[in-house]
Chains A and B, each alone.
Chain A
Amino acid sequence: MTAALALGDDALVLSHRLGEWAGHAPVLEEEVALANIALDLLGQARMLLSFVGDEDQLAYLREERAFRNVQLVEQPNGDFAHTIARQLYFSVHQHLLYEQLAAGESELADLAAKAVKEVAYHRDHAEQWVLRLGDGTAESHERMQQALDALWRFTGELSEPVEGLDVDQRSLRDSWLTAVSSVVERATLTLPSGPQSGAWTAGAGRQGVHTEPFGRMLAEMQHLHRSHPGASW
């Protein structure tokens, strides 16, 4: 597995999930914002997958067990709070990771330098919404807390080492926890206290072991492409 494949799959799968929001967002400004983030991530995915091979072959012709994304990004959208919790956990991680990559000398440095500006915006968007929902109404506070709790067990995988990825895993983990705790606290919410991953989830996505909703997502994503073998679009 190359690091580009892992990061490319993360971006591809999260982009797809965000694309499911189109036409369903709570307010028009969020139609624009969620589509914008989805589009940024899709752009990143295309560049990363192209490092590895043909982007469409990789996206459309691999089966579930060959995808290397973390399980967090494949989680269903749920309500808006779940989508925002997923965005917070992932975009803080991605931002810190890309900052490190951009400063390094790997083949991903240039790409990370370009993407880090987009990811900074995604992170800000997620943080602002965690604050609004956490410190908004009683209902939004409750929903935001539930979402943070529900997705917490998928966060451990974010700091599992990825082969070929030139980053300081420990500092990444520490900075992530500091950043997420700070937002959660400012939002008057509580940092979840459970384990960050069950024994069976640690690093599972990176090894091609996914959660059940993922296969269904791929079935929808790949159906048309697979129905016309060899066709170009």
Chain B
Amino acid sequence: MAAVTADQTTQRTAGTADPADAARTAAFDAAVAADDRIEPRDWMPDAYRATLIRQMAQHAHSEIIGMQPEANWITRAPSLRRKAILMAKVQDEAGHGLYLYSAAETLGTSREEMLDKLHAGRQRYSSIFNYPTLTWADVGAIGWLVDGAAITNQVPLCRCSYGPYARAMVRICKEESFHQRQGYELLLALSRGTPAQHEMAQDAVNRWWWPSLMMFGPPDDASAHSAQSMAWKIKRHSNDELRRRFVDICVPQAQALGLTLPDPDIRWNEELGQHDYGAIDWTEFQEVLKGNGPCNEQRLDQRRTAHEEGAWVREAAAAYADKHAARPGTAGTTAQPVEATA
């Protein structure tokens, strides 16, 4: 919050010093108001740029860290069909991460910089991935609930004011919907399977339900970035609004699955035409955000280790590329002076 205020102050100061800036700000505001897309070469307020970098980096990091809880079950998937589906899904997530890093790079940051910040704990990823996958059914619960919550959050981002982000979300949402249906179908097979399988499915839903609701972020009255993001049309709906929409979608789906949601307070509110639900444990949410969730340390360690142990591979690729870019003859000529490429 403090950072946003400081940025805005700078903006205003710059604006008074340079009359051209006032015109730029007006043009930006008009474009946002008209639902035009802001593109990488367009002028934009520093705070808008900073907010987008923060959000898009966090989104990309979530895809990458989010591979871990699911990859945890690739080697134990109980049928070859399920194994193939899970492998394809984890591969898609790596692809989404790449896509989002590229989109964020249009704002003047780099993938290396974002990864360094992730590894240093200076940029976040979604709190949900700090929970462990303890049984096979967790893979289904993640597909149904976690991907379901992500889609509820992300579909409105397809109309986000920043063009590269909006376009990334169109592609990503298509694949996410597919994953979500696969997760639902996995849980359905378990729920209708043996008593042990049914119990496994119910246990997974019990453990993933509340963390999934937390994915929508803090309640509206405690959300630091919401008002500004909505004004900029980065966000289109409030956290609580999206959370409520998600609950409304899940209740009938749980019934169809033959599973219950672990909240005795969920009931249809005739008057409001929506579901009421119980209180979220925001203390747990804050603890997970602070790094004290069940897997925070493990997730970051694995990411850092993969990066550090892969350093020699990346260095080799760079050295090879340098050698072969600089070597005369590979381009088909022998007369090319080395200085020309240096």
A209 contacts B by Cβ under 8 Å: no
Please state if A140 and B74 are interface contacts (CB–CB under 8 Å): no
Q: Which residues of A contact B68 (CB under 8 A)?
A: 23
Contacts of A132 in B (CB 8 A): 316-317, 320
- Min CB distance, A15 to chain B, in Å? 8
Known contacts A221-B76, A233-B82: A22-B315 contact under CB 8 Å: no
Q: Mark B76-87, 1 if CB is under 8 A from A, else 0.
A: 111111111001
Which residue of A has the minimal Cβ distance to B93? A31
Question: Please, how many angstroms separate the alpha-carbon atoms of A60 and B115 in the complex?
Answer: 38
Is A39 a contact partner of B76 (Cβ separation < 8 A)?
no
In the assembled complex, B13 has its CB within 8 A of some CB on chain A: no
A residues less than 8 Å from B313 (CB atoms):
26-27, 30, 80, 133, 140
A139 and B312: CB pair below 8 A? yes
Stretch at the interface among B28-36, B163-171, B191-199, B282-290: B191-199
Stretch at the interface among B39-47, B205-213, B235-243, B302-310: B302-310
State in angstroms the CA–CA spacing of A46 and B83 once bound together. 11
Tell whether A39 pairs with B75 under 8 Å between CB atoms, given A23-B68, A24-B302, A137-B312. Answer: no
Taking CB atoms and an 8 Å cut-off, the chain B residues in 147-190 that contact chain A are: 186, 189-190
- Judged by a CB distance under 8 angstroms, whether A170 is at the interface is no
Interface residue stretch chosen among B48-56, B94-102, B222-230, B273-281: B94-102
- The interface bits of chain A over 209-233 (1 if a CB of B lies within 8 angstroms of the residue's CB, else 0) are 0000000000011011100101111
Q: Tell me the complex Cα distance, A146–B304, Å.
A: 25
Q: How far is it, in angstroms, between the C-alpha of A220 and the C-alpha of B74 when the chains are bound?
A: 10
Interface size on A, residues (CB 8 A): 49
Tell me how many residue pairs across A and B have CB atoms closer than 8 Å. Answer: 141
Can you name the residue of chain B whose Cβ is closest to the Cβ of A140?
B316
A28 contacts B194, CB within 8 Å? no
Residues on A with C-beta less than 8 A from B305 are 24
Give the size category of B's interface with A. 35 or more
Q: In the bound complex, what is the Cα–Cα distance between A20 and B90 (angstroms)?
A: 12
Once the chains are docked, how many angstroms separate the CA of A208 from the CA of B65? 38
CB distance from A61 to the nearest CB of B (A): 12
CB of B122 within 8 A of chain A? no
User: Is A156 among interface residues, defined by CB-CB distance under 8 A?
Assistant: no
A80 close to B310 (CB less than 8 A): yes
Please determine whether A22 and B310 come into contact, CB atoms closer than 8 angstroms.
Answer: no
**A131 at the binding interface (Cβ < 8 Å):** yes
CB of B79 within 8 A of CB of A56, answer yes
A52 CB to nearest chain B CB (Å): 13
CB distance from B59 to the nearest CB of A (A): 14
A28 in complex: contacting residue of B64, B90, B197, B311, CB < 8 Å? B64
Across the A-B interface, give the 10 residue pairs with the lowest CB-CB distance, nearest first: A26-B310, A136-B316, A140-B316, A35-B91, A22-B71, A31-B94, A26-B313, A132-B320, A23-B71, A233-B79
Q: Which residues of B contact A (CB under 8 A)?
A: 64, 67-68, 71, 74-84, 87-88, 90-91, 94-95, 97-98, 101, 136, 186, 189-190, 193-194, 196-197, 302, 305-307, 309-320, 323
Task: List 30 A–B pairs whose Cβ atoms lie within 8 Å, in order of A's numbering.
Answer: A16-B75, A19-B74, A20-B75, A24-B305, A25-B310, A26-B309, A26-B314, A28-B64, A28-B101, A29-B98, A30-B313, A31-B67, A32-B95, A32-B98, A35-B88, A38-B87, A42-B80, A42-B87, A46-B84, A79-B309, A80-B310, A136-B315, A137-B312, A137-B315, A139-B312, A228-B78, A232-B189, A233-B79, A233-B81, A233-B189
Instruction: Beyond the given A42-B87, A132-B316, A223-B76, please list 12 additional residue pairs across the A-B interface where CB-CB is below 8 A.
Output: A22-B90, A25-B310, A30-B310, A31-B67, A133-B316, A135-B320, A139-B316, A220-B75, A224-B76, A230-B194, A231-B194, A233-B79
